[in-house]
Structure 1
């Protein structure tokens, strides 16, 4: 790359959760990314878990913090994916977040050919979790590849800036004000429009090992 060429832009898929916030924090504070144009995209995922409202609130306040406290520009965009209409099917499953993220990220990247990397929050804790995690990550890549199939340009790569950190290490790497706004629960409980962690889902059980589980 010549001195006059700009570095490839970065697309960060941001949910307001601990992992994606850790990834975003890394991009906003590490000097090596300072010259990269940064796009931050949030998908309002509406499904039977009913997390969209809680995540949207987290995203709003976290981004407000960084706009105020970090001298790093970024472009924020958002979109909506809604599978609540699956109800009458009495379906036992609904689309994985990773699948939705891959589809939207690929479409954004086809619209902005300067994007060279797609960042998602993936941690050491995820990698070591076992189960079908590896299969789901392969499927995410396959979905991304399928969308890119008709494109002639070089395909962006997924990049995991916090892959060497556990979820706990990511949590403590964040400013306290940011930690207080992150959202992790899969099935929030709403009371007077205020979301609270259920305390029972897999992620709640996971974070209880290093925080008190309150928001």
Structure 2
């Protein structure tokens, strides 16, 4: 059985870039790809927009491009209750990603690497080190039950050397237009309306 790379996919520009590289680059042609999307329901209300993007992007890739087949699964995490006055916290997507990636790895020992949409731009943010270290701790803790005779899966920096604009330019135009990038969208007649204020 082929070794697997798990691609955590949100439908955003960065994770779409990671998936695109995994499918189009000869560097990964011998690897099986498993794509997983977390429907993360939180205070930002972008779960529906991401779901739309994921569905459209994967359909486009499968219908219009001659890439090898890949597996797809999805899960749901609802943290919308974490709001004032009872709670004063926010679960970042990197935390949910680390938790769910560990569960997938524990259930499929062919997974050797975890690919995400972390970029060079993310590493420039002041809060980046804390979030990265926290997500690594979550992943390591959740993998404590991993068989000792097997090497634990690790993160593979697919697009970590690229700025967001470089990832955008790398994608075909028809794929670019299907991605989602707004953190606080609104909805009108089943259409996603960006807030117009996002810098990411």
Corresponding position of 2:4: 9
CA distance in 1, matches of 2:161, 2:88: 34
Task: Identify the residue that residue 86 of structure 1 maps to in structure 2.
Answer: 82
In structure 1, the gaps of 5 or more residues are 1-5, 207-215
- Structure 1 runs of 4+ with >6 Å offset: none
Determine which of 56, 61, 67 is the counterpart of 1:66.
61
Alignment correspondent of 2:23: 28
1:137 maps to 2:132? yes
Secondary structure of 2:35's match? strand
Match of 2:199 in 1: 205
Q: State the SS of the aligned residue for 2:199.
A: helix
Cα-Cα RMSD: 1.4
TM-score by length of 1: 0.87
Report the equivalent of 1:105: 101
Identify which of structures 1 and 2 has the higher relative contact order when contacts are C-alpha pairs closer than 8 Å and 6+ apart. 2
- The normalised TM-score by structure 2 is 0.94
Shift of 1:123: 1.1
* Counterpart-to-counterpart distance in 2, 1:172 and 1:62: 16
1:44–1:80 contact (8 Å) kept in structure 2: yes
- The equivalent residue for 1:188 is 185
Q: Does structure 2 retain, via aligned residues, the 8 Å contact 1:29–1:70?
A: no
| Separation in structure 1 between the aligned mates of residue 12 and residue 35 of structure 2, nearest angstrom | 14
2:47 paired residue number:
52
Aligned partner (choices 153, 156, 162) of residue 156 of structure 1: 153
Pairing partner for 1:116 from 112, 117, 126: 112
How far 1:176 moved relative to its partner?
A: 0.5
- Give the 3-state SS of the residue equivalent to 1:39 in structure 2: strand
Shift of 1:142: 0.6
Between the two proteins, the alignment pairs up a number of residues equal to 197
Instruction: Please tell me whether residue 19 in structure 1 is matched to residue 14 in structure 2.
Output: yes
Structure 1 position 143, deviation (Å): 0.3
